[in-house]
Structures are given as structure tokens and as C-alpha cells.
């Protein structure tokens, strides 16, 4: 039986930086990611009206 987890990576202003952070999370062995079900990128404006991005990673946790 696989355990499904959600990880939110937040507060990035440049999409390339967020993409690198997502890939680093997925590739890091301590996170035990065995399968990525989805990665969703969203944008929002912070309290200073700066455009920011976040990613939601839906993944399966290994042993």
C-alpha cells in the first residue's frame, strides 16, 4: 500500500527557481518520493502586490 502525500513549496517570484526547488525536493532521497502523481503551479499576489508562485506536489511515499 502506498502513502500519498502533498508538499507545498511557496514564496518564489521566479518560475525557474520554483522549478529547481520542486526538482530538488523530488530527487532528494530523504523525502522518499517513489512516484509523482502531479505537480501544479499557481500564481498569487503577496501583501506588497508582488507576483509570487507556489507549487503543490502530489506524490507517493516510499519506504
Q: Summarize pLDDT for 1-20 with one digit per residue, the tens.
A: 578 899 999 878 777 899 99
As for how many domains the chain has, the answer is: 1
Q: Which residues neighbour 9 within 8 Å (Cβ) at sequence distance 6 or greater?
A: 18, 21, 22, 25, 54, 55, 57
More confident residue, 37 or 46: 37
Q: What is the CATH number of the domain that holds 52?
A: 3.30.1660
pLDDT in tens, 18-42: 999 999 999 999 999 999 999 999 9
Domain that holds residue 24: 3-61
Q: Which residues neighbour 57 within 8 Å (Cβ) at sequence distance 6 or greater?
A: 6, 7, 8, 9, 22, 25, 26, 36, 38, 39
Indicate if the pLDDT at residue 59 is higher than 60.
Answer: yes
Q: What is the pLDDT of residue 1?
A: 56
Amino acid at each position: 500500500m502506498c502513502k500519498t502525500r502533498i508538499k507545498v513549496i511557496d514564496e518564489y517570484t521566479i518560475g525557474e527557481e520554483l522549478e529547481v526547488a520542486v526538482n530538488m525536493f523530488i530527487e532528494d532521497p530523504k523525502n522518499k518520493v517513489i512516484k509523482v502523481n502531479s505537480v501544479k503551479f499557481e500564481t498569487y499576489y503577496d501583501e506588497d502586490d508582488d507576483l509570487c508562485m507556489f507549487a503543490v506536489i502530489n506524490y507517493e511515499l516510499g519506504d
